[in-house]
Each structure stands twice: as C-alpha cells, then as structure tokens.
Amino acid sequence: MAQQKLLHFRNIRKCFSSNTVLNGVDFSIEPGEIVALVGENGAGKSTLMNILFGMSVIRDSGGFEGDIEFDGKSIRISTPLDAMSLGIGMVHQEFMLLPGFSVARNIKLNRENLSPTLISGLAGRNYRVLDLDSIVREARASLDTLGIDIDPLDTVEHLAVGHMQFVEIAREFNKDNLKLLVLDEPTAVLTESEAERFLACIKTMAESGIAIIFISHRLDEVMRLANRVVILRDGQMVFDENIQSTSKMQIAELMVGRKLDSRSLVNADRIFDDADVVLEIEHLQVDMPGERTRDICLKVRRGEILGIGGLAGHGKAGISNAVFGMYPAKGSIAYEGEPLDFGMEGEALHKGMAFVSEDRKGVGLLLDESIVFNAVFTEMLVHDSYLRELGPFSLFSMSKAENRVKTMIKELDIRCASPRQSVGSLSGGNQQKVCMARALITQPKILFVSEPTRGIDIGAKQILLNYLVKINREQGITIVMTSSELNELRSVCDRIAIVTAGKVEGILKPEAPNVDFALLMSGEGVKR
C-alpha cells in the first residue's frame, strides 16, 4: 500500500429526497488495480458511478455529501466532461458507437489526427482534414496492444455484438490521459469465449497502469479478474477486501445479506399438489425491450403464491406481460389444461386472470380519471358490469360503481379525499392500491402482480403484501408475483423462481439460504 492512491471515495452519502441511497461509502483504488464493485439492483452502484461522472441527475437532486480525491487532490466533478479531462473513462452497457463509421474512426472520434490545409490556415482548426492514415495506424496500435483481432477499417455496424464491446474498450484505451476506466457489466452481451478474451484484455490494460472499476453480477469473473472486491448493499458499503481473503460463497452471501427472520416467511410450509397445475408455461420467448426472455418453462400450482425473481434486464418481467399480450411472444401457455391464445387482446382477462403491471403510471392507470373509473374499468370491460342500457348505448353508471369502489377503498386503506378524486393526485402507494383494486374487482382466479411495492412507502408496502396473503388464503386466488426485491418475495411466496438470462435458472423455497439465491442470479445454478 505504499503506492499513491489514484482515486479515493471518502464517506460518500447521497439522498434522493428522503430516501438514502448511499451512505458511508469509502474506498480507494490504486493505479493498475482492478476493483470489482458488486451489489444487487438498487444497491447504489449506478448512483456511485453517476457521482463519479458528475451526471446531472446528481446535481439536480441536491448533490451529494462526502469527498472524492483523485491523484491526491480533492476534486469536484460537475460534468461528464470534467471526468473525461481528468482521465476517467467508462464503457457502458449500451454501446455508444457510430454504426456507419469504421472501427478506427470510432476509436479516434473527436480526437482525430488532423492535417492542415490551405483553407484551415484561413478558417481555423475546425477546417483541417482528417489524417486517415495515422488514425488507422493509431487505432491498430491500440487494438494490437490489447490483443484484439479486429480490422480497424471495418464498419462498426458489420461487427458482431461482442466485438463492439472491444471497440469501446479500445476507444477508451486510446485516450492518452486515461487513468481510470469504469466497466458496467461489460460481459453481459458476450459469449463465453469472447468473455475470456475480454477479461484478458482488461488484465493487459491494468498492467499498463490503468485502474479499473469492474461492475458485474458474474461472480466467477469477479473472482478471476479482480484484485479487490467492494460490496454495496442498500447503499451501505458492507465489504472491502482483497480477493484472496474471500470466496464466491461469501460474496454471494454478503450481496443478498439481510438475515431473514424465519417468522416473516408466512408461506414457508404450505403443501401443494404438484399435479394440480392451473397455468403451464412452456418455452415462452418474449420480445419485451430490456426484459427479453429466451425460454421460460414454468408451472403454477393451484392456490399458491409463486414468486418470480431475478436481476433487472434478465427477463422476469417478460412473463406476465406476455400472458396479457403486451409484447409479442412465442411458445405455449395452457390455462386449466386449455391452450391460451395470449396474443389476442383481453384473452387472459376473459379467462379469469388479472394483471397489475410493473409500470404503474404507464400501463396501470389513467391518471386524469377518477379512482372509481380506474378501479372498475377492467371489470366493466370484461364482465359488462356497472352499465345501464339506454337505447343503443350502454352507459357507464358512476353511482353503481362508486359503492363497489368505496368498499375497496376501505379494505385497501386507500387514502383519498373522495372516490372521484383523480388518481394522478394520489401518492405512489395509493395509486398502487388502486391498480390492485382494479385487478381484484374482476374477481380473478389468477392474479399477476409485478413489482407491487416499487417506489412506495413502507406502510403501504406492508398493507399490500399482507393483503396479497389474505386474498390468497381467504379467496383462494392463485398469485404470481414478480419482484426485484428478493426479501419481499420470500416473505409472502411459497416458491420463488429465479429468472437469469431469459431462463428459469431454478426454483427455491423461501427459506433457502441467501447463497443459493445469489448463485442462481449470477447464473451458476444449484438446480434442485
């Protein structure tokens, strides 16, 4: 540790309004060191990187507390340009390349070698011409140093997806002043052999003295690549150790953390008949942007609460959306043994299923309309309820609907001034309750709820979860609950299916140890 530290986060703390997302994060990186930054979704990794890059979200939400030291000096980074001029680079999950340009041009973009001409002598620097030879030469040098076998003259759009990732790396590496490189899940899109080469490439960079922050969910890679591991959990830094003194199991355990109180697992011991399947999903492939599933096979047993968990972007949200025809999907779904035509609008609703979407404001509600209208809308459509015939028109009867909704408001404890208040004026938790009311008023046999507690306060969270358990027990409604919060799933579900890379990686009981869940999420199934 005699070496000068390159970057030091000192006691970083960040709140979004009343919500603390980072607290007491304090670690440092030396030149040439590879630090793996590990944590669940929402643990605070992206927020920390946003702070490092001076993204405007941070400034707009009131800045952060704490101090960043770079090269021994305390610095304030207020724009991404500041970060770049300091020599901090980033490779994003999404590619930031110009598809129509050659590899070499992409690598040297905006830092091109220029040669003066007559006109530029008069009109200024911006009118110099590109020195293509030296651009290609330098790009090739960077690629060679990193051991990447790509022709700098190829056009980027013709490259394999994996190769684009290499071009991104080469671009950052080519910057003369690069001192620190952040890699955000760089291997997510790579095949296994590409990932191997990628890791080798990273090692080469580190050997040339560049410090690397490596964000990944693949614990295998972390173990092989990193010198040190930093684990964030709920915004707290819970671990900062050299890789030699830890193990994959320990990291997995720490990532998920939070010892669960066994009393909170309300549905750990219920027994169901494995043969009494109410919904059977086979080889489901869903084309939902950001949540693609590749091959989902899943059986839902009558009367259970089935949890679907997994990391964001791995496809867990695709399942319920496909059942309700929200996104194009292939495969087969059988409901009560009958095939379900899930591509047809409203098919699942008419068969007795209901859906609470993860996108509350985008899909779940008409924000300008009243609570009553939102709550009974699905029921009105599916069962023609709350209508009054008048000649050729079947008119919606607000007064009939209002009575029904009033009882739901009481049951779910929706805090509102009047049932006719517009849902846009309600708080997030109460909006979620309205979504739930809308689904339940149709008296479904299966209820799909996605992210029921996202962005709502703890009080409303508990009411919603308790209510799910209650309707499951009292009314026998089968529930399929998708959530990013593992503990929430474990507290109410009978079984939890973990979706990783578009497939069901495994199904666990809620009382299964943390390690098992973490390993399934990182794609190293302990199939049982």
Write out the residues near other proteins by the rule CB under 8 A: 324-326, 345-350, 355, 357, 359, 362-366, 368-369, 377-378, 380-382, 384, 387, 390, 393-396
Given the complex with other proteins, which of 229 and 371 has the nearer CB atom?
371
Given the complex with other proteins, which of 23 and 397 has the nearer CB atom?
397
Q: Smallest distance from the beta carbon of 255 to other proteins, in angstroms? A: 34
Proportion of the chain in helix, strand, coil states, percent, rounded to 5:
35, 25, 35
**H/E segment holding residue 90:** strand 88-91
Q: Smallest distance from the beta carbon of 286 to other proteins, in angstroms? A: 15
Q: Smallest distance from the beta carbon of 392 to other proteins, in angstroms? A: 9
Which two structure tokens, joined as six digits, stand for 259? Answer: 């010892």
In degrees, to the nearest 5, what angle opens at C-alpha 69 toward C-alphas 222 and 61? 85
Q: Smallest distance from the beta carbon of 502 to other proteins, in angstroms? A: 22
Q: Smallest distance from the beta carbon of 349 to other proteins, in angstroms? A: 5
What is the phi-psi region of residue 352: left when phi exceeds 0, alpha when psi lies from -120 to 50, beta otherwise?
left
Q: Smallest distance from the beta carbon of 438 to other proteins, in angstroms? A: 9
The DSSP 8-state label assigned to residue 102 in this structure reads B
User: What CA–CA distances, in Å, run from 222 to 29, 44, 216, 427?
Assistant: 16, 18, 7, 40
Which two structure tokens, joined as six digits, stand for 120? Answer: 């530029």
Given the complex with other proteins, which of 6 and 380 has the nearer CB atom?
380
Given the complex with other proteins, which of 359 and 411 has the nearer CB atom?
359
Q: Smallest distance from the beta carbon of 425 to other proteins, in angstroms? A: 15
Please state the separation of Cα 474 from the chain's center in Å. 34
| Angstrom distance (rounded) from CA 507 to CA 517 | 9
Given the complex with other proteins, which of 129 and 366 has the nearer CB atom?
366
For the chain, state the CA radius of gyration.
27
Given the complex with other proteins, which of 232 and 349 has the nearer CB atom?
349
Given the complex with other proteins, which of 182 and 382 has the nearer CB atom?
382
- Bridge partners, 29 (sequence order): 7
Q: Smallest distance from the beta carbon of 365 to other proteins, in angstroms? A: 7
User: What CA–CA distances, in Å, run from 22 to 56, 235, 374, 528?
Assistant: 17, 4, 36, 36
Given the complex with other proteins, which of 202 and 365 has the nearer CB atom?
365
* SS3 state at 235: coil
State the sign of the Cα–Cα–Cα–Cα dihedral 346, 347, 350, 354: negative
Question: Which residue, among 197, 224, 227, has the nearest Cα to 213 in the 3D structure?
Answer: 227
Given the complex with other proteins, which of 240 and 359 has the nearer CB atom?
359
The DSSP 8-state label assigned to residue 93 in this structure reads S
State the sign of the Cα–Cα–Cα–Cα dihedral 69, 72, 78, 81: negative
User: Side chain identity at 390, as an amino acid letter?
Assistant: L
Counted residue by residue, the chain has a size of 528
| Angstrom distance (rounded) from CA 27 to CA 364 | 41
Q: Smallest distance from the beta carbon of 471 to other proteins, in angstroms? A: 20
Tell me if 525 sits within 8 A of 519, measured CB to CB. yes
For 250, list phi and psi in degrees, rounded to 5.
-65, -40
Given the complex with other proteins, which of 211 and 348 has the nearer CB atom?
348
Given the complex with other proteins, which of 357 and 483 has the nearer CB atom?
357
Question: Which residue, among 147, 74, 141, has the nearest Cα to 108 in the 3D structure?
Answer: 141
What DSSP letter does each residue of 427-475 carry, written as one string? -HHHHHHHHHHHHHHT--SEEEEESTTTT--HHHHHHHHHHHHHHHHHS
Q: Smallest distance from the beta carbon of 381 to other proteins, in angstroms? A: 6
Q: Smallest distance from the beta carbon of 449 to other proteins, in angstroms? A: 13
Q: Smallest distance from the beta carbon of 56 to other proteins, in angstroms? A: 17
| Angstrom distance (rounded) from CA 454 to CA 253 | 24
